[in-house]
Structure 1
Amino acid sequence: MGTDNIGMTRRHWTIIKINGNTKSEPCYKTIELAKILKKRRVNIACVQETRWAGSSVKEADGYKLWNSGTQKGKNGVGILVDRELREYVVEVRRVNDRLMSIKLVVGQCTVNVVSAYAPHMGLDEEVKQRFWEGLDEIIHQ
């Protein structure tokens, strides 16, 4: 689908945020998550607390997932983009296991999507400071 068609046929995109926040398992298995998003016609989804180790790119049921994580079972963020929009992703930036962003360019429109998992109150101030500095850097680029 060409750039002109996207702008003419689609007046809005559905973008959501999902928090995995489960004690026993990672957020969702990629395929299960993609099926839910497809059913609800979600174009872009940001996920936090994925608990997926490392950084990777996966495809499932028409969605492309970019994720950023470090230690297995801790933190992790990701961004899923549907088949219609993923060809417009021109940049993926993985900052750490709490921050990542993607940039989409559709015609004359540039859209930056950030997936952020802020540290909770009980964590060390240094962790919080690094998070806010990283978020500030992403926003001001």
Structure 2
Amino acid sequence: MTGKGKEVADMMEKRKIDMLCVQETNSMARNIGGGFKLFFHDVDGKRNGVGVILKEKYSKSVVTVKRVSDRVMNVKLEVGDWGEGVTINVISAYDLQVGCEMEEKETF
């Protein structure tokens, strides 16, 4: 585990963060290690890209990962004990401003 992924995993561990939405994920490895897993979506690896980083214990609770576009995704989790579970929807969205045409910004 090296680079940005290691920095993020270390920060999440230090601050006791179990779930984190990230943007510009094209520069991060899929498996950031350190007990965390990155679910991400990017198109062509050039720009944008959103993701959700989950502590390993929650990554096993993922029911669906819905990639709406290169700037919006949803990760659905079912957590809790038998029959008493809770559904959590984590939405990661990125409204890029720099380098986009006004029409693209308004459409988003």
Above 0.5 in TM-score? yes
Matching residue's letter, 1:62: G
Superposition pairs of residues 44-63 of structure 1, within 5 angstroms: 44-52=19-27, 57-63=30-36
In structure 1, the partner of 2:9 is 34
List runs of 5+ in structure 1 lacking aligned partners: 1-27, 132-141
1:29 Cα offset (Å): 1.9
Kept after mapping to 2: 8 A contact 1:43/1:82: yes
TM-score by length of 1: 0.61
Partner of 1:114: 91
Kept after mapping to 2: 8 A contact 1:45/1:80: yes
Q: 1:121 to 1:69 in 2, by over 3 A?
A: closer
Aligned runs of 1:1-141 on 2, under 5 Å?
29-52=4-27, 57-107=30-80, 108-120=85-97, 123-131=100-108
Partners of 1:57 and 1:72 in 2: how far apart? Answer: 13
TM-score normalised by the chain length of structure 2: 0.77
Pairwise CA distance, 1:37: 0.5
> Retained in 2: the 8 A contact 1:43–1:81?
yes
